[in-house]
C-alpha cells in the first residue's frame, strides 16, 4: 500500500485499528486527543469499533479494561496528567492482568506546551511493573502499536506506549501494512479465564501480585532481546538515546561521528546492553526527552 502522511497520534490510531480493536476510549487532552478522534472518524461508518468519549480518564481506563476482560482488544489514550486521574485502575490492572490485548497510550508534554506540568510517564510504567514502548518516529508509532496488542495478550498484562508532544504532533510518511492473520476480519473475542483473578480482595491480590513479581525476569529478558534496542560499539564516547531524542542526537552528530550508540525503545531497561556499552566506553552521554529516567 502507498505510504500515508500521518501525525504520530494518527499512526498509533491506525495501528490500533489494524490490530483489530473492538473499542477505543479516551478523555480529551492535548497532545493525545487526535488518537481517539482518528479512530472515531475512520470507524464511524463500519461500526466495527465502539469509540466514545468518557467522563474522565479513570472511566476511560475502566471501560477499556472491561472490554479486555470480555476478551476483546481495546485502546485507551490520554495525556500525561490524565494518567494521574486513571492511576487507580491502571496500577490495579497490572495485578488483575488482561484478557484481550489492552494498550494504554500516554502522550507526555515536555516543555509544557499545553499542560500544567511535564511529568514523565515512564515512571508510572516502572511503578506498575508493566512493559513500555517508546517509539522514536511515526513509523514506529504504527508498528509498535500493533506489536503492543500481541505482547499484551502474550504476557497477560497491559502495555504502555509513551509519546511526547513533538512526536504526537508532527507528520511523516508511514508504510501501512494491511491487517493479516486472525485479526484481519475485525475484532475477535478470547475465551474467558477465571474471573476471580479480576477481583482484588486481599487473598486474590496477594496471589496476583506474586504473579506480577514472578513475571519481571521474563519482561527483562523480552527487553534485552528486543531488536528495537540497537547497540553499535565504535569510539570511546557513548550515546544512549530513547524515543524522539534519537532524532535530536542524529541531527546534532550525524549517523556516524565515531560514537558508540545505544538506542532504547523498550522498558524495563535492557541492562545487559547498557553494561556492554559502559564496558566499552570511557564517557557516556544520555539524551532523553523528559525526566532523567535512563540517566538515573
Q: Are strands 74-79 and 23-26 parallel, antiparallel or unpaired?
A: parallel
Does residue 256 carry a pLDDT above 90? no
Residue spans of alpha helices (H) in the chain: 8-18, 33-43, 57-69, 80-85, 87-96, 122-128, 138-155, 165-168, 202-225, 245-253, 271-280
Ranking 61-65, 82-86, 191-195 by mean pLDDT, the lowest is: 191-195
Distance CA 280, CA 270 (A): 16
Q: Are 43 and 174 in contact (CB under 8 A)?
A: no
* CA dihedral sign, ordered 163, 167, 171, 177: negative
pLDDT at position 181: 46
Q: Which of 192, 188, 191, 209 is nearest to 200 (CA)?
A: 209
Between 253 and 277, where is the model more confident? Answer: 277
**Residue 260 Cα distances to 126, 136, 256, 273, angstroms:** 27, 19, 9, 12
d(CA 196, CA 120): 33
Name residues whose C-beta falls within 8 Å of residue 191's C-beta, 6 or more positions apart in sequence: 71
The pLDDT of 12-40, averaged and rounded, is 96
Interval 233-242 mean pLDDT: 96
The rounded percent of the chain whose pLDDT value lies above 90 is 88
Among the residue ranges 182-186, 265-269, 286-290, the one predicted with the least confidence is 182-186
Write the pLDDT tens digit of every residue in 76-116. Answer: 999 999 999 999 999 999 999 999 999 999 999 999 999 99
Average pLDDT of span 117-143: 97
Over the chain, what is the mean pLDDT? Answer: 94
pTM, entire model:
0.94
171's grid cell: 507528520
Query: Contact at 8 Å (CB) between 79 and 32?
Result: yes
Q: What is the mean pLDDT of residues 194-219?
A: 94
Amino acid at each position: 500500500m502507498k505510504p500515508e502522511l500521518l501525525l504520530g497520534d494518527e499512526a498509533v490510531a491506525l495501528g490500533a485499528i489494524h490490530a483489530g480493536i473492538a473499542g477505543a476510549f479516551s478523555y480529551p487532552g492535548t497532545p493525545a486527543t487526535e488518537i481517539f478522534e482518528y479512530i472515531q472518524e475512520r470507524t464511524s461508518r463500519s461500526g466495527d469499533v465502539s469509540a466514545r468519549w468518557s467522563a474522565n480518564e479513570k472511566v476511560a481506563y475502566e471501560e477499556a479494561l472491561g472490554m479486555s476482560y470480555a476478551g476483546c482488544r481495546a485502546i485507551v489514550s490520554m495525556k500525561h496528567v490524565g494518567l494521574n486521574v486513571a492511576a487507580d485502575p491502571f496500577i490495579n490492572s497490572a495485578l488483575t492482568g488482561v484478557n484481550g490485548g489492552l494498550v494504554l497510550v500516554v502522550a507526555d508534554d515536555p516543555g509544557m506546551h499545553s499542560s500544567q506540568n511535564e511529568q514523565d510517564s515512564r515512571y508510572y510504567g516502572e511503578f506498575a511493573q508493566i512493559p513500555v514502548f517508546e517509539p522514536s518516529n511515526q513509523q514506529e508509532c504504527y508498528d509498535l502499536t500493533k506489536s503492543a496488542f500481541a505482547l499484551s495478550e502474550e504476557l497477560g498484562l497491559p502495555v504502555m506506549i509513551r509519546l511526547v508532544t513533538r512526536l504526537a504532533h508532527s507528520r511523516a510518511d508511514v508504510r501501512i501494512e494491511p491487517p493479516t492473520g486472525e485479526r484481519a476480519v475485525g475484532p475477535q473475542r478470547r475465551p474467558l479465564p477465571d474471573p476471580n483473578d479480576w477481583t482484588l480482595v486481599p487473598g486474590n491480590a496477594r496471589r496476583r501480585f506474586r504473579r506480577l513479581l514472578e513475571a519481571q525476569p521474563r519482561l527483562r529478558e523480552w527487553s534485552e532481546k528486543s531488536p528495537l534496542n540497537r547497540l553499535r560499539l565504535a569510539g570511546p564516547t557513548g550515546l544512549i538515546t530513547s524515543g524522539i531524542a534519537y532524532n535530536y542526537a542524529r541531527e546534532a552528530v550525524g549517523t556516524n561521528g565515531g560514537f558508540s550508540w545505544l538506542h532504547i525503545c523498550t522498558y524495563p531497561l535492557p541492562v545487559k546492553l547498557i553494561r556492554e556499552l559502559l564496558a566499552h566506553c570511557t564517557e557516556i552521554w544520555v539524551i532523553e526527552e523528559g525526566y532523567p529516567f535512563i540517566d538515573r
